[in-house]
Amino acid sequence: MAPDRPVDVDAELDRLYGLPLEDFTKARNELSARLKKSGETDAAAEVKALAKPSVPAWAVNQLARTRKRDVRALLDAAERSRSGKAKTLREALSEQRDALQRLTNEGRQLLEATRGSAPDAMVQRIASTLRAAASDPSAAELLERGRVNEDLEPAGFEALAGLVDAKSPPASKRDEGAARRKLLEVAQKAVRERKAEAAELHDRAEESERQAAKARKAADRADRALEDAEAELRSQERPA
């Protein structure tokens, strides 16, 4: 029997990443099966290996479909901010910040509409993923196509730029390094604050683990007490 008609993998992937998150795994497996049936075994294996996107990554992918203009504005501004020219840095960072804010707000609304709530931590992961994708050309392509699979973290200068207000760097024509030095100073402060927040969260996690351990011990004691009570009841029910 001749293999089925070839599958348009690119179009199918666009459809896959645009689905509701809960439908991703089933649709991915079905696509992989169709590819295998049509004789495209390598493509079938690649599709089968695709990880289900995290919730923030899924939200970012939907923004790439519904807010294309803002995504393009974010990517363009991020590219200009890497030019290193002080006279354009302030403007580019401002535009990048504004586009990121619009997309983050849309991401929050998307989570509220589709999942019933939008925790601040998850919204921040959406913002970080958008910022990271804008700072990395390969990730930027995934963002623009709406095919991000996981949460991303900014790296390098773009990570620092994302931590500060874009109004901070001065647009000095005399000293092009002044803008970045000022940005670095403010970013260093922001990094220290983030580290302090991380330490606090770590302490909370340790306390939560201690409470969980206490709860597990209490559950074990209750389980043993139940077993003892059941054993005693069975002994009392035996005929004399």
Domain residue spans of the chain: 9-48, 54-153, 181-240
Please report the beta strands in the chain, taking only residues with DSSP state E, as ranges in sequence order: none
Residue in the block written with tokens 């330490």: 199
CB–CB of 85/177 below 8 Å?
A: no
DSSP annotation of 40: -
Q: What's the one-letter identity of residue 112? A: E
Q: What's the one-letter identity of residue 92? A: A
The helix/strand count (H/E) of the chain reads as 10, 0
State the pLDDT at residue 189: 56
Residue in the block written with tokens 């990880």: 51
Which of 109, 147, 152, 108 is CA-nearest to residue 134? 152
- 93, with CB counted inside 10 A (0-12, 13-18, 19+), is buried
In terms of pTM, does the model score above 0.85? no
State the pLDDT at residue 201: 58
Please count the other Cβ atoms lying within 10 Å of the Cβ belonging to residue 103.
23
Which of 33, 36, 31, 38 is CA-nearest to residue 4? 38
In which element (H, E) is residue 224 found? Answer: helix 176-237
State the pLDDT at residue 31: 94
State the pLDDT at residue 8: 87
Two structure tokens written together for 154: 């900014």
State the pLDDT at residue 217: 73
d(CA 56, CA 130): 10
Q: What is the pLDDT along the chain (240 residues), one digit of tens a residue?
A: 445 567 788 999 999 999 999 999 999 999 999 999 988 999 999 999 999 999 999 999 999 999 999 999 999 888 887 765 545 677 878 888 899 999 999 999 999 999 999 999 999 999 999 999 988 888 899 999 999 999 988 765 455 444 444 444 444 445 556 655 655 665 565 556 556 655 665 666 666 677 777 777 767 777 677 776 767 676 666 665
State the pLDDT at residue 50: 93
